[in-house]
Amino acid sequence: MNHSKSEVKRVPNWITLLLAISCGLIVANLYYAQPLVGPISEATGLSPGAAGLIVTLTQIGYVLGLLFIVPLSDLIENRRLAVASLIVVVCGLIAAALATNAAIFLAASLFIGLGSVTAQILVPYAAYLASEEQRGRVVGNVMSGLLLGIMFARPAASFLADLFGWKIVFGLSAVIIALLTLLLSRALPERKPSPTLKYMELIGSLGALWRGTPVLRRRAFYQACLFGSFSLFWTVIPLRLSGYFHLSQQGIALFALAGVAGAVAAPIAGRLADRGWTHMLTGLAITIAAASLLLAYLVRGNSAASLAMLVIAAITLDMGVSGNLVLGQRAIYSLGSESRGRLNGLFMAVFFVGGALGSFLGGWSYAYGGWTAAALLGFIMPVLALLYFFTEKKESAGALIDHGRGTVSEK
């Protein structure tokens, strides 16, 4: 690969916009089923006790894809890999829309999660296209699209299912992703990596890459804590809003839409990181996330003022989490282009596991300790990240990479 050429070219704005929209539409597939667990379970004959498998299997598929598909972006041509993965998503969505029993729908959920890792192929692909000077801005813009997809998915699914039934959500997404696949196959430039490892060596190098990259371990821990609190909050807040504030499904969807405002932090964080403010902004993002959960914990009563405070907490939490995500990705993408796919896969897998743990702990704590216990647990997670942040020295000017072993060490 010609590094000098890739470093001087600038990414056209339309490519950045296309990648941002693509990531949002792709990653939304992970979240459509969350507000629809009830009607899906009823239609497919899934017992209430096993209903959580609808979300869990999608998450399992996603983590498997992060560990075994995303590293392929360091090995084979990226556009072809993205198109192949999206075909898996389309097949999974069609199967979900046509599912008549639980087994078919659960299998479809696994494949939807597996193929949706295409978003994590496209984000480092965008970083590859960008020069060092514009990398933070480009990644920030693409990540803002991805985050908007996450935040719009739940309310969009609720509104559509309320009007037309839950199957239309998956059928419509299948059509959209099929058209997107065709567009990306025609519009994206090729990116052929220069691999030094075979696939099994590539997978085997993940352990060495994790052990030898302190920046990756640190940034993954920060984001796992923040995404854990984010997942906890958005798992229990619908229960709180319906049971305590007596909001309808439409009202809960509108609350979720309010949280979308937090995505504005992603491109801003990217631009400021390009100016060398990553360390300070990381501390600020973690602090904002902790303060958001503290505010949620302190909310008492079911007045309009209390609801407004929860809306503010939702927006600021989303700001902290989305801002820190961009800062983390920019930091690990700066470590080297040859291992970028594996670095991104590890980073996303670790913090997505944090999110899955947050969802589980949220449901468990809310069932046994109510809102107070859940919000307190959510507050503890970013506090742990903040305590770890205080041990961080200011980021060094660069890093050394041993491509043969796939390891990175700080200067």
**Closest by alpha carbon to 58, among 81, 89, 83?**
89
The predicted pLDDT at position 270 comes to 80
Backbone angles phi, psi at 402, to 5 degrees: -105, 95
Backbone angles phi, psi at 16, to 5 degrees: -60, -45
Long-range own/partner contacts, residues 160-166 (CB < 8 A, 24 or more apart): 161/35, 161/36, 161/39, 162/249, 162/250, 165/39, 166/36, 166/39, 166/40, 166/43
Strands 407-410 and 399-402: antiparallel
Mean pLDDT in runs of 10 for the chain (411 residues)?
48 87 95 81 76 76 89 88 97 96 94 94 83 77 83 87 91 98 92 81 87 93 94 82 82 82 80 86 96 94 90 93 89 76 84 81 82 94 96 53 41 35
The predicted pLDDT at position 258 comes to 81
Domains and CATH numbers, the chain: 1-195 (1.20.1250.20), 201-411 (1.20.1250.20)
Q: Which residues, in sequence order, are bridge partners of residue 399?
A: 410
Environment class of 48 (CB within 10 Å of its CB; exposed 0-12, middle 13-18, buried 19+): exposed
Rounded to the nearest 5 degrees, what angle is found at the Cα of 99, between the Cα atoms of 96 and 104? 85
DSSP letters spanning 251-278: HHHHHHHHGGGGGGHHHHHHHHHHTT-H
367, two tokens = 């069932």
The predicted pLDDT at position 400 comes to 37
Q: What is the distance between the alpha carbons of residues 231 and 353, in angstroms, rounded to a whole number?
A: 11
